[in-house]
Structure formats: structure tokens, C-alpha cells
Amino acid sequence: MLCCFTVFIFCPTQFHNLQELRHSASLANKVFIQRDYSEGTTCRFQTKFPSELESRIELTLFEETVKTLNNFYAEAEKIGGQSYLEGCLACATAYLIFLCMETRYEKVLKKIAKYIQEQNEKIYAPRGLLITDPIERGMRVIEISIYEDRGSSGSSSGSSSVSGSTAR
Amino acid sequence: MHLGESMRECEYSQISTRSSTPMETPYKKRTPKRKKWEAFPGRNKFYCDGRIMMAKQTGVFYLTLVLILVTCGLFFTFDCPFLAQELTPIIPVLGGALFLFVLGTLLRTSFSDPGVLPRATPDEAADLERQIDVANGTTGYRPPPRTKEVVINGQTVKLKYCFTCKIFRPPRASHCSLCDNCVERFDHHCPWVGNCVGRRNYRFFYMFILSLSFLTIFIFAFVITHIILSSYRKGFLTALKESPASVLEVVVCFFSVWSIVGLSGFHTYLISSNQTTNEDIKGSWSSKRGKDNYNPYSSGNIFTNCCMALCGPLPPSLIDRRGFIEADAPQMAPPTNGITMYGATHSQQSHMAAATPLLQQQSSEPVIITSSPENGTSLPARASLTLGGPCTSLPLGQPTPPTSTPSLSCHEAADMLPIHGHTLNHTHPLQEQAAVHHYLTPEEVPSPPGMLHCGSPLGHSHTVQASFYNPASQDSLHEDSVRGLVKLSSV
């Protein structure tokens, strides 16, 4: 199942799927995308492209991921007819209704989990990256782990030290 | 992919961890896995296998429960038969419904997660430290209080760094020193409810005090009616002798009604202006601070604010209480100046009673502390003190909070001080006799000492509430302590 690793000049390694990532890579660095509070306390993440990822992934892909996540969170926290209805119904039933029903927020969070899983599989893992669902980090950050191939020699470890030092 | 637990408090068990724990091995170890609530770093108590979460001191909560149960019990036993007969049976039914609603909201407020922010993982903390170093251009020397400024809807808001939780607190979040947690949209710590009141349980709290006001007034009114009707037939004294329970109920209700109705009124005002108790006490958005000072979170419309607070979406719990602790999370390569800085400050902790050494930072887990299960007091490397004795007052009849355990609230000023007698503030137990409801606002040490405007509550117009906390003395003490600390730091 081990695939062949293609070492590019800039992009160190290429992984074919998450499994290979796990078995043959080592964690080199983690990048944290912080929250963007400029619009208040609603959940939004900064779309600024971190320098550590410059050599790893295209700007457009990254931005699209973050923007989609932001949209999901906006949808979850949206205050409108449906949320009012849910709130009033819950109050009327003394909040017992949540024993049988999922809140809208939870439904959206499930969608987000699926989306992140899909993004990881299709886009990030092949580039040696892994996104952690923000809910696991208390919705503070989007954690992107950067993996380096354990197996290959000099060049990739050289590039990892380069990327490591730029992160400092 | 199972989500459902019977109580939908926190559902994030193992679903999305697939993406973050790539080291899944096909053969799991047979060691019994501990649940995350057992290793929770804050000072909370958990029951029912993590489903119920309360503050450490719950004595007053039981008092509340007893008061409500006894009063209502007496009402239903002694007054309701008479009233149902003489007037209408709807009265006990209505009373019963109100009582159940009050109990439900009380339990919901007390048992749910107020919106605790989980502490930063070691990697995150190291990353933040690095960024701060880069921003300050120094390493090794700890700079003055860390704040980040953010412009929200045209208003500049300062985000403070929490040394205990190692995060920059989101706007409106605050660190509760009693529970030792950062809580989102922190309102206050309510000893009567035995929990903090924050983003996730504010609406339950409001419903509780509102329905309790109605219940109190209801019971008061009908007990008086009962006594009056009886005394028409038998005379006043005979009526009293026959139902002594009514006297007790009247007394309890009479004394509670002022405080509870007042509190409901106060919180109605807060909701309609979209402020937290914390912000109101500090006068954060008061126009006295400046002409352009306004509340950036308010939508401007009372009705919208109310709807947002009460009927807005209920966010899920961010702390996964019932999930299992993952022992195999991958660790980054040994961190650099981030952790060594922690090591340096660790040496400052000499007077910390239960200081768990920083080794935990090296351990492989976001949710760390496995050492002290009792109260989970993992004291990460902060020689932080409790400033702000003002609002860490405790409810009547309660022992002062564990002064022996130097409570860790995150204070920027504390960062500067080497070792300072932490008893500075903690030993003024502010026993306010009149205060029925203690607003335990966290000790936020504003970075420029000049910004201490805590005296403003005296000026605010909630006359009923003004009697409940005595801000003047508290704030002068607070100010003194802060000045003292600032002086120390400058030495």
C-alpha cells in the first residue's frame, strides 16, 4: 500500500491518502488559524494565509476552505425565524424537547465535520496536511498539522527544517 | 457515528477525532480509558459520569433547593386544599405548573456547562507565545500585560490574555476564579445556583429568576388570601394558629420577593441592552466613559436583543466531558523558546501549593491533567494571584473559598510580579449582609491602572441592585492592590 513518494523541489512529499499520511509521516509543525472577532462574537476564522503553508497549498484552496467553514458557522449561529421557533418551542416544553431533538447548531456541526473530513481526504492529505475540526480545540483555532515524510532522506528533511525555521 | 446521549449537553465524542488522531492502531490497549471530565483542569464537580457539571461550592445551591421545595411543599399541603375549595382548583394547578417550571430551569442552570472554554493545547500555547515574542522582539523577558485590540462594529475592544488558560479571551469572555475556567459571555458566578452563568445557561437562569418571581408573588398572594378568608370566619389569631405554615411561607416570600423581583428587573434591563452583569458593573459601555462609547453587541432594538438572548441558537458544549482521553495523540517536535519560557517562569511558582510541574506540557494530550483527579487543580505555570477581592465574595454562611489553594485567575498584572503574598485580597471576605445575590465578577485587572472605573456602579441607576453589592469599598481595595502590584513590577 505504500505509494511512491514524489519529491518536488518546493513541495516535499505527496501522499495519496490519509492512511499513508498516518503511517509514514511525522508531524513537523502545526499552524493555527485564529479567530476573527471583527464582527463580534460570532464564530469566524481569519482568512489570512499563513506563511508556513505557502509552499504546501494554493492560496485559493485554503481560502475557500476557511470561507466555507465561516459560512457554516454563520448558518449555525444565524438568528432568524427558525432559531426563534426552536427557542420558543424549547422554552414551552421546558427544554425537554432537546432530549429527542438535535439543535440546529448541532446539525450544522455535523455537516462541518463531514466537510472537514472530505477536505482532508481530497485536498489536504495529498499535500501532507491535516485539518483538525475547530470544535476539538474549543472553537478557538483551526489547527492545520503539517506532516513530513519520515521515509525519504535529505531533501524533505532539509525542507522541513526550512519550513520549521520560517515558522519560528 | 453516534451522537446521541440522553442529555444533549455535549456530544462531541469520537466522531471527528479521526482527522486529528492519525495514530489509530488496530489493536487498542486494554487499559480502562478515563473520561475527559475526570481530568478536567478547572475546579468543577461532575456527577452522573460527566453529564452534570457544577461549581465546587454547592452548599448554597442546596439551600436554594430546600427553600423552594419546603415553601412550595407547605403551600400545597396547607393552603391549597382550602383555596381549591373556597376559590377554584385552578390555583393549585397553576401553582404546580409554576413550581415545576422553576425547578426545571433551576436544575438546567445549575447542571449545564455555562460555556467553558477549554484550555489551550500545549502546541497552541507555544504558538501564541512565539507570536507574542515576535511581536515584542524579546525573548526570555516577560513583557507587560498581553492584550490584543480588535475593532468590533466600530468600537475598540481589548482582548486579554488568560495566563491560566493560555488563550486570548474572546470578547465578553471572562475567567471565573471560583471555577478556574474561562467562560464565554461571562455574566457572573451565582452561588445560589451553584454554577457560573454564561453564554449557554443565561437564558435558563433568566427563566429561573423570572418564574421564581412569579411563583413567589403567587404564593405570597394566595397565602395572604387564605389567611384573610379564614380570619373572616374564625378570627385572625385563630386562623394563624390553625395554619402556622402559612406564616412561615409569608415570611419567606416577603423577604425573597424584593431581591428576586429586583434581580429579574435588573436582568431584564441587561437583556434588553445586551450587556452582561460584568460589563454593566464595570461600565464598559456606559456613555460616561466617553462620548463615542457604545455597546457594539447590541442591535439597538430592545425586542431584537431580547430575542437574541432568549431565543437565539444554543451553542453546544465545547468541553467534551464524556469523551475518552486519547493517550496517543501525536506530538510536535520538542518546542523551542515557547516551552523554555514556561520553564523559566515555572521557577517562579515556588509558593504554589499544588503546582503540577510543567511536565504535563510535554505529555501527549490536549486534555492533560491526570494527576489530581480530586479537583483537577492543575496549576499551569502561572504565579497568578487572585486580585480583586472585591467580587470574590462568597455567599453568606459559606467558608471563604479555598485560600489555601492559591486560586488561579489569570491576571496580566500577576505576570509581572515575582512572588507576592497572595493574601493581599483574598482575605477580605466581603460578607454583605444585605446582599442576597452576589455578583462574583472575575478579577479583571485592566491593563492601564487608570482604567479602573469600578466605582461607576454606584452611579448606575439600578437602585434595587445597588444595595446588593458594595462596590465602593471593593473597588478601592481593588485599586490599591493593583497599584501595589504595578509598583512591584516596576521595581
Q: What residue numbers bound the domain in which A54 lies?
A: 27-149
Domain assignment present for A74: yes
Q: A27–B16: do the CB atoms touch at under 8 Å?
A: no
B9, B10, B14, B19, best to mutate vs chain A, most A CBs in 10 Å? B19
pLDDT above 70 coverage of chain B, percent: 58
Predicted pLDDT at B157: 87
The answer to whether A16 contacts chain B (CB < 8 Å) is no
Do residues B55 and B196 touch, judged by C-beta distance below 8 A? yes
Cβ contacts of B105 on chain A, cutoff 8 Å = 94-95
Domain assignment present for A95: yes
Q: Report the distance separating Cα A97 and Cα A85, nearest Å.
A: 12
Domain assignment present for A130: yes
Domain assignment present for A143: yes
Q: Helix, strand, coil shares of chain A as percentages rounded to 5?
A: 50, 15, 35
Predicted pLDDT at B30: 59
pLDDT in tens, B35-77: 888 888 888 888 888 888 998 889 999 999 999 999 999 999 9
Of B22, B159, B203, the CB nearest to A21: B22
Do residues B27 and B41 touch, judged by C-beta distance below 8 A? no
Predicted pLDDT at B106: 93
Predicted pLDDT at A153: 43
The answer to whether B297 contacts chain A (CB < 8 Å) is yes
Plot region of A90 (φ>0 → left; ψ -120 to 50 → alpha; else → beta): alpha
Domain assignment present for A157: no
Q: What is the mean pLDDT of residues B313-328?
A: 80
Q: Which amino acid is at A73?
A: Y
For A:102-141, CB contacts with B below 8 A are 102-106, 109-110, 113, 116-117, 120, 130-133, 135-141
Domain assignment present for A80: yes
CA distances from B179 to B369, B372, B375 (A): 16, 16, 10
Active site residues of B: 190
- The CA distance from B130 to the nearest CA of chain A, in Å, is 7
- Nearest chain B residue to A29 by CA distance is B332
Q: Which residues sit opposite B182 in a β-bridge?
A: B117, B175
Q: Report the distance separating Cα B205 and Cα B193, nearest Å.
A: 8
Q: How far is CA B394 from the centre of its chain?
A: 13
Quickly tell me which residue has 438535535 as its cell: A102
pLDDT in tens, B116-163: 999 888 888 888 888 877 776 655 565 656 788 888 888 888 888 998
Given a cut of 50, is residue B383 above it in pLDDT? no
Do residues B98 and B211 touch, judged by C-beta distance below 8 A? yes
Q: Which amino acid is at B78?
A: F
pLDDT in tens, B458-489: 333 444 443 444 444 444 545 454 454 444 44
CA distances from A12 to A34, A94, A147 (A): 26, 56, 10
pLDDT in tens, B267-292: 999 999 988 898 888 888 877 777 77
Q: A39–B153: do the CB atoms touch at under 8 Å?
A: yes
Do residues B330 and B23 touch, judged by C-beta distance below 8 A? yes
pLDDT in tens, B343-363: 334 344 444 444 344 444 444
Predicted pLDDT at A66: 93
The answer to whether A92 contacts chain B (CB < 8 Å) is no
Number of domains in chain A: 1
Domain assignment present for A58: yes
- Nearest chain A residue to B24 by CA distance is A22
CA distances from B319 to A144, B10, B115, B366, B489 (A): 20, 7, 8, 11, 35
- Nearest chain B residue to A20 by CA distance is B22
Q: Report the distance separating Cα B24 and Cα B21, nearest Å.
A: 6
Angle at B414 between CA A168 and CA B477, to 5 degrees: 155
- The CA distance from B427 to the nearest CA of chain A, in Å, is 34
Q: How many CA atoms lie within 13 A of A46 on its CB side?
A: 15
Q: Which residues contact B117 (CB under 8 A, 6 or more apart)?
A: A138, A140, B165, B167, B169, B170, B173, B181, B182, B183, B184, B318
Cβ contacts of A138 on chain B, cutoff 8 Å = 117-118, 318-319
CA distances from B176 to A104, B166, B183, B201 (A): 29, 14, 7, 15
Contacts 24+ apart (CB under 8 A), B285-288: B286/B456, B286/B460, B288/B456, B288/B459
pTM exceeds 0.90: no
Do residues B328 and B17 touch, judged by C-beta distance below 8 A? no
Do residues B77 and B96 touch, judged by C-beta distance below 8 A? no
With b meaning 16 or more CB within 10 Å and e meaning fewer, what string describes B53-87? bbbbbbebbebbbeebeebbebbeebbbebbeeee
Cβ contacts of A40 on chain B, cutoff 8 Å = 152-153, 171, 296-297
> What average pLDDT does chain B have?
70
For B:8-37, CB contacts with A below 8 A are 8, 11-12, 15-20, 22-24
Q: A37–B157: do the CB atoms touch at under 8 Å?
A: yes
For B:332-351, CB contacts with A below 8 A are 332-333, 336
B428, three cell numbers: 477580605
Domain assignment present for A69: yes
Do the strands B116-117 and B181-183 form a parallel or antiparallel pair, or are they unpaired? antiparallel
Of B123, B157, B318, the CB nearest to A138: B318
